[in-house]
Structure 1
Amino acid sequence: MVKHWLRSNRGFILFMLCLGIFRTAIADWNPVPSGSMRPTILEGDVVLVNRVAYDLKLPLTDVSLVRLGEPQRGDIITFSSPADGTRLIKRVVALPGDVVAMDNEVLSVNGQVARYDRLQPAEEMLAPGVSVRALRATESVQGTEHAVQFLEGANGRHSFAAITVPEGHYFVLGDNRDNSADSRYIGFVPREKLIGRAMRVLVSADITDRWQPRFSRWIAPL
């Protein structure tokens, strides 16, 4: 009976096998459940991840068969947390050999202090009916420029002394600086823990409003 089922469904089984290999080795889609990358990525976004941006890996492993590229400052990456293996999505702010520091939320890389422009007040929804005031800005440092967000009255690691990123590791931060478990808490990210580079939002739904589609964010670049 099992042999008959396998024979009757071999096309579907082959398709699922190929899909599994594709998702674990070439490209993947990553639902985002948290707001750690606001305002760039929202809860309910499904992000396309290029798994061969940096390495061609043996499927279902961290074993790199071929190096295909190197992460750059500003890349949004997915990776397995060095703390507990959870899949996370953050932005690379410092590369191997870089010296990175933070002073009262102000980032510096290799002695260059970040500039914050286009400041804009906002409301950050923490839960249905619960919101806090936020400040959004464009952060520019070491040739990269992207949006960041700070939450009013939040407790977090707003400052840390200058540290050098070790060889083969990366320092990552969430764009939502006061609501992100990033390298300030989990440490440097080893290269072998990288999964891929986030390329664009595929689809999006508002998880705070009955999963209503956010069509304006569909097929949107990051």
Structure 2
Amino acid sequence: MAFWNKSKLEEVEEDSPSFVSSLSSFLGIIVLVFAFKSSILDANNIPSGSMIPTLKIGDFLFVNKMRYSLRIPFTEKEIYRIDDPRRGDIVTFIPPDDALNYGETREGIFSKRFVKRVIGMPGDTIRLTRKYMETSKGRILYAFIEYRPIGSDSFLDYAPEEVPQGKELADVDDIRASSGTLFRETKGEFQHLLLETSDDIRNAGARFNCDFSNGCLIPDGHYMVMGDNRDNSHDSRGWGFVPREDILGKALIIYFSINWKDHTCQFKDGLELSEKGPYEAEKWDAANILNYCQPNEIDSYGNSSSSEEFEPRMDWLKRTILYRIWRMDVRWDRIGRLLK
């Protein structure tokens, strides 16, 4: 009997260190994963349309957080600067206080991060003008950007030109953006697409002293950023320039993409919406629309009124199970797309 108890005791003693060791290893792996995410390669999702068509609502992307700086894990404290952003880079950054809404913070685990494109470098003099341009969809106001680098006597521009729309806007979950006009701009050695619509509300509510119409000097160590969706981007035109130390990483690659159709669920066909616009594109009739849209997603004008930002978590979960999963599309052609 004593021998049996001794054997059991030895068995327990042998198992206990094994359990503790396994738990410690598991916790160590968790810490390493979050440290990797915090300082090397971060994963982000895109909740808004400010970077359409480059980044669409529902895109999931990896961000290279070591592209510009080496930072202490679990903090944003920079310990070594590797490189600086270049003209045209898509960057993630800590937004200035003036860019945040009530209740949002710059610091902490739930702090907000922005994704925009660098369009102005330190020392540039930036001039923004609104020019009417004749396009295939009519006459629109275009946010024409000119910049004068340090040492230059003349202003340069990014040579915008309209490009065929194709299917690029057929799967954007944004009613106004889906009927916009596509342009191509050249920055450095590469080109990228951007979007313009007929509305022009870009400079409303500017809260810093900058005369963009005559030329505004970007201070040393600061960058001007804008969204590729020029008429629906909360960016430097409204709240100022981004300090270099607040730039966290460079967008690298889209690893997954879902079109949830939260804002366009009432339309039968996304391509038709992009070609004809919201007033002419065919919508689901009253007998069928509730198969695709929750009533709260449609207002009296037939526009989407869904807002996940203020939606209770249980309501979001119910809406996802009953509606979003069944109407979503995976954007297979976007998976693996390198960002530039």
When normalised by structure 1's length, the TM-score is: 0.89
Looking at structure 1, the residues matched to 89 and 32 of structure 2 have their Cα atoms a distance apart, in angstroms, of 28
Give the corresponding residue for 1:172. 225
Post-superposition shift, 1:152? Answer: 1.8
- The percentage of counterpart residues that share the same residue type is 31
Give the corresponding residue for 2:313. none
Give the corresponding residue for 2:201. 155
Give the corresponding residue for 2:186. 140
Post-superposition shift, 1:8? Answer: 4.4
Looking at structure 2, the residues matched to 154 and 52 of structure 1 have their Cα atoms a distance apart, in angstroms, of 36
Inter-CA distance 6–165: structure 2 relative to 1 (3 Å threshold): farther
Post-superposition shift, 1:142? Answer: 5.5
Give the corresponding residue for 1:216. 333
Q: Is the 8 A contact 1:112 1:142 kept in 2?
A: no
Give the corresponding residue for 2:298. none
Give the corresponding residue for 1:109. 147
Deviations 1:43-95 (A, max 9, x none): 11111100010100112223211111111001000011012332000000111
What SS does the corresponding residue of 2:126 show, helix, strand or coil? strand
Looking at structure 1, the residues matched to 177 and 161 of structure 2 have their Cα atoms a distance apart, in angstroms, of 24
Larger RCO (CA within 8 A; separation ≥ 6): 1
Q: Which has the larger radius of gyration?
A: 2
Looking at structure 1, the residues matched to 177 and 227 of structure 2 have their Cα atoms a distance apart, in angstroms, of 19
Q: Is the 8 A contact 1:101 1:108 kept in 2?
A: yes
Post-superposition shift, 1:194? Answer: 0.9
Q: Which has the higher helix share?
A: 2
Looking at structure 1, the residues matched to 177 and 249 of structure 2 have their Cα atoms a distance apart, in angstroms, of 32
Q: Is the 8 A contact 2:57 2:173 kept in 1?
A: no
Map 1:90-101 onto structure 2 (within 5 A).
90-101=116-127
Post-superposition shift, 1:186? Answer: 2.1
Give the gaps of 5 or more residues in structure 1: none
Q: Is the 8 A contact 2:46 2:58 kept in 1?
A: yes
Inter-CA distance 49–125: structure 2 relative to 1 (3 Å threshold): closer
What SS does the corresponding residue of 2:179 show, helix, strand or coil? strand
Looking at structure 2, the residues matched to 37 and 116 of structure 1 have their Cα atoms a distance apart, in angstroms, of 17
Post-superposition shift, 1:216? Answer: 0.9
Give the corresponding residue for 2:312. none
Inter-CA distance 171–157: structure 2 relative to 1 (3 Å threshold): same
The residue identity in structure 1 corresponding to 2:45 is P
Q: Is the 8 A contact 1:200 1:220 kept in 2?
A: yes
Superposition CA RMSD, Å: 2.4
Give the corresponding residue for 1:16. 30
1:191 equivalent to 2:244? Answer: yes
1:80 to 94, 101, 105: 94
Give the corresponding residue for 1:200. 253
Post-superposition shift, 1:15? Answer: 1.1
The residue identity in structure 1 corresponding to 2:146 is S
The residue identity in structure 1 corresponding to 2:37 is R
Looking at structure 2, the residues matched to 62 and 11 of structure 1 have their Cα atoms a distance apart, in angstroms, of 26
Give the corresponding residue for 1:54. 68
Post-superposition shift, 1:113? Answer: 2.7
